Structure 1
Amino acid sequence: MPKTPRIPKLSLHKPSGCARVRVQGKDLYLGPYGDPETLQRYSRLLAELASQQHQLQVAQANSGQSTPTQDLTISEMILAYLEFATTYYGPRSREPQSMNHALRPLHALYGSTLTQDFGPKSFKAVRQHMIDVHKLSRTEINRRMGRIKRVFKWAVSEELVSPTILHGLSAVSGLRRGRSEAHESRPVRPVDISQIQLTLPFLPPPVAAICQLQLLTGMRPSEVLHMRPCDIDRSGAIWLYTPEHHKTEHLGFEKHVPLGPQAQAVLAPFLNRDPKDYCFTPAEAEAWRNEQRAVHRNPDRKTKIFPCELKARIRRKAKRQAAPKVRQLQPCYDVNAYRRCITYGIRKAQKAGHAVQYWFPYQIRHTHGTEVRRRYGLEAAQVALGHATADVTQVYAERNLKLAMQVAAEIG
């Protein structure tokens, strides 16, 4: 006679005050202990566990031997997909990292669960976990749930999971605005050009040049960061930059960025290097910061600098250079380092007394798209931003309200 499964009990985790339940050797935290919503989540968990146990017993009764597909757990499926994704997307893509973030709640809640026992209710439980625990926005939750569906779709194509599982998950629709507990994310707005200009003096020269190029061309941050002299055609009056890699290259699209006189003037000081080296390097920014420290070292000093002090500085510098480097500088900036540099520059500007609000690199792209659309129309903004369709450009280029205000003034 089969052994009756043990019902997991709800207990109090004293350090946090949360209700804890142990399922298959893993602790799940359901919320504040004694809260009615916590008890509701506990009841829902017991119902799911009972349903899974019943389905397992039915499957064992109908089939004396289980197929390889029936033996596959969620964790094994995730591991197989991540191995595939690393090769498929390549080292430059951030999609494997995004997949990791999306699959963590699934692995934490249902890692040891068989794939055949994972259904729409379990899928909704993962979504609710993103709302209650991770506090994600509605749009981010929908993106992550879409990525989880993509993993199951791949597993079906590899005959690792039954198609009926994917069909059940497809019945779970995304969260709608105003009809869920998830909060809404704030839309990305263009940053005012005056805010950028106030920040530029407090940025290292390479980072300041990157910001200016983004503002003049509307390129994505990754496209500017990976500029090399060999990728720039300087034979004509208007230079043409062809990125080695870009976001839509896997779809067969080519990307060409025209560089006008202003962009050429910004870029010119960073072309004096090997054609295959990156134009903007952290090493140059580090050298600039060291020079700034030497210039601004104790500016109020009244006494002269003695030779023994200069010799001591030389000895300390030689010792630092001989010491092993704890942090290795990369050959070029990545998107996260670029964003952090801007944040540090904004903080310096605020300390200097400037009224600068926090902004981030992608807002510069929105600013460029909005300005191009205001001057030359939607089609010009689409071409400048490199979008295949104008629908995507609508997200980046804010609508010009001056025309609507003029109509309201005349006939309103």
Structure 2
Amino acid sequence: MPRPKSEIPSYRKHSSGQARVTINGRDYLLGPHGTQASKREYDRLIAEYLGSGRSSSYGTEPEAYLVGHLILDYLQHAKDYYGTGVTSELHRIKSGCKPLKSLYATQRAVDFGPIQFKAVRQAFIDNDQCRTGINAQMKRLARMFKWAAGEGKLPAAVYDTLRLIPSLRRGRTEAKESKPVKPVPADVVAATLAKLNPVVADMVRVQFLTCCRPGELCKLTPAMIDRTGDVWVATLDDHKTAHHGHTRAIFIGPKCQEILTGYLDRDPTERLFRPCDAISMKRAKAKANRTTPMNQGNRAGYSENSRKGKRAKRAPGIAYRTCEYGQAVRRAAKQAGVEHWAPNQLRHSRATEIRKLFGLEGSQVIAGHAKADVTQVYAERDSERAIEIARKAG
């Protein structure tokens, strides 16, 4: 059997009589073997190596440090820092690094400057990305060079130069503009609900009533919900702005409580909304509507696909992901023959409705925004009120 690789490079004796340690294939001479000075030098190098996260580029001089090395190191940092969840920032960083890797992976990172930065940005434009999305990705790439400077992998001057490059401005670039997210009309939601399975239909109703984000809705468990008061409060530890130290509470009123009651009789840590429940309901409905006697035809759970030897690629999940939730809504909207819409639009619709009834502050606290200017984006202004004011005052 091959000898297992040690996690920490060992203190060894060189043929010259000096102590040495080998890190990433490079030998470091530490001084006379067995001396306290050589052991202190060994401890220092190991501490630095571990502090780098066992980086494969540890010991590489800035002049030999390539953009490819930087991408690998930063992705490992992002994996440790952001995690690997479905909504993790790691996935957006990976997407942003693709054109950088394609163009400059073998180039020295210390030579990366404004010309190279703009070439990567142009690659995003040529790939038909929207202006705001491109600006967000370029900020991520600049942040990567900032991180490298903070880790001592690159001179700070590289990042200092990149951060001086202005973002793309509206009307002054060939990059297309993203379409603003608008509230979804109530009749469109009603038509879509008729085509959704019962679980996803309830998800749509709960999201609208609570004004929560799709990701927050998918993460809800019975343990998160405090049901002691007449208004239930769900507290989330993992949410969009948790890294800023913000808390997120979802307030659940009587109408929403009535919907959720049927989902609370389960393990406290299980998700409220699960694909496996939707499949179970679908099969139960099919069984109830069955006209062929049970002793004839296909047995329960037996389908045409299984008769042909086909099997589902995977079993129904125990938690909806945001992408699956959105896909279900889009598919139902198509079946209903109404315009395409996404779950995020429900948040806009509810925030707009609450703003009309309770003002901007009311919309802000329900939507969970730390700043009112963010709420302005989600809560569309009541144009009817503006028209009425203009009619009377103008």
**TM > 0.5:** yes
The aligned counterpart of 1:195 is: 188
Match of residue 23 from structure 1 = none
Aligned to 1:110: 104
Aligned 8 A contact 2:82 2:89 in 1: yes
Name the residue aligned to 1:150.
143
Q: Distance in 1 between matches of 2:384 and 2:63?
A: 62
8 Å CA contact 2:287, 2:300 repeated in 1:
no
User: How far has the Cα of 1:307 moved from its partner?
Assistant: 6.7
Distance 1:363 1:194 in 2: 14
Report the equivalent of 2:329: 342
Aligned equivalent of 1:377, options 359, 366, 380? 359
TM-superposed deviation, 1:314: 4.7
Structure 2 CA distance for aligned equivalents of residues 148 and 296 of structure 1: 56
CA distance 1:124–1:279, shift in 2 (3 Å): same
The answer to whether the 8 Å contact 2:237/2:248 transfers is no
Check the 8 A contact 2:354/2:362 in 1, yes or no: yes
2:377 alignment partner in structure 1: 395
Q: Distance in 2 between matches of 1:189 and 1:323?
A: 42
Aligned equivalent of 1:410: 392
For 1:1-400, what aligned pairs fall within 5 Å after superposition? 68-92=61-85, 93-132=87-126, 134-293=127-286, 305=292, 309-310=296-297, 312-314=298-300, 316=302, 326-350=313-337, 356-400=338-382
Pick closer, same or farther for the CA change 1:331–1:407 going to 2, 3 Å.
same
Letter in 2 for 1:71: A
TM-score by length of 1: 0.76
- Once residues 323 and 361 of structure 1 are traced to their aligned partners in structure 2, the CA distance between those partners, rounded to angstroms, is 33
Counterpart code for 1:274 = D
Following TM superposition, by how much is the alpha carbon of 1:325 offset from its aligned partner in structure 2, in angstroms?
5.4
Q: Which consecutive unaligned segments of at least 5 residues does structure 2 have? A: 1-58
Partner SS state of residue 309, structure 1: coil
Flag the 1:348–1:294 CA change in 2: closer, same or farther, 3 A: farther
* Aligned equivalents of 2:289, 2:334: Cα separation in 1: 18
CA RMSD of aligned residues (A): 2.4
Contact 1:271 1:279 in 2 (8 A): yes
Distance 1:330 1:369 in 2: 31
- 2:55 aligns with none
**Structure-2 change in CA distance of 1:105 and 1:390 (3 Å):** same
Structure 1: runs of 5 or more not aligned: 1-65, 298-303, 351-355
CA contact (8 A) 2:330 2:340 kept: yes
- The alignment partner of 2:299 has SS state of helix
Superposition deviation, residue 320 in structure 1: 5.1
CA deviations over 1:184-218 (Å, ceiling 9, x no partner): 11010111122111111211111111110111110
C-alpha distance in 2, partners of 1:97/1:87?
A: 13
Deviations 1:24-71 (A, max 9, x none): xxxxxxxxxxxxxxxxxxxxxxxxxxxxxxxxxxxxxxxxxx971111
Residue identity (%): 37
Shift in CA distance, 308/206, structure 1 to aligned 2, threshold 3 Å: closer
